[in-house]
Amino acid sequence: ADSMTWNPHKMMGTPLQCSAILLKEKGVLLDVNQTGATYLYHKDKHYDTGFDTGDKSIQCGRHNDVFKLWLMWRSKGDAGFKDQIDLFFTLSKYLVGEIKKRPRFQLVLEELSVAIFKATCRRVAILPTTELALIVTQLFPCTQSNTCLAA
């Protein structure tokens, strides 16, 4: 792949807005986002301007969102994050096992650390399918003509 995105928010528990895009080819972000606004981007800095993200990001923003992740990594370390992620996988396997034990729950997808399932209410479970279909069309009349999506 030429690029990859990484969002430590889900598995690593960082606060929202902490993602990264990793690109194989150097200069891609600069090529697609560069505004060339010389009044904003001066070359006479006392640091390596190659690390200045302003002209490489959308609307020349310079977010320091990675700082949250850095602080967490300093606090937990590699071993702490490994233990946390291993625990998430263990909990996911446990949840899948519990779902499979219960007839009112149906496992839809079992994917690594994510378990997607449906639960059926006792009252709904005893209704015939035709009656359920009638209820759905009464609640969401547009489902008959496929003009809407109902959650």
How do residues 19-43 score in pLDDT, each as one tens digit?
Answer: 888 889 988 887 877 777 777 777 7
Name the more confident of 130 and 8.
Answer: 8
- Look-up of token digits 């263990």: 90
pLDDT (0 to 100) of residue 13:
86
Q: What is the dihedral of CA 21, 22, 27, 32, to 10 degrees?
A: -30
The string over 73-101, giving b where at least 16 C-beta atoms fall within 10 Å of a residue's C-beta and e elsewhere, is: beeeeeeebeeeeeebeeebeebeeebee
Determine contact, residues 19/34, Cβ cutoff 8 Å.
no
Q: How confident is the model at residue 149 (pLDDT cuts 50, 70, 90)?
A: very low
Reported as a single tens digit per residue, the pLDDT across 4-17 is 988 888 788 888 77
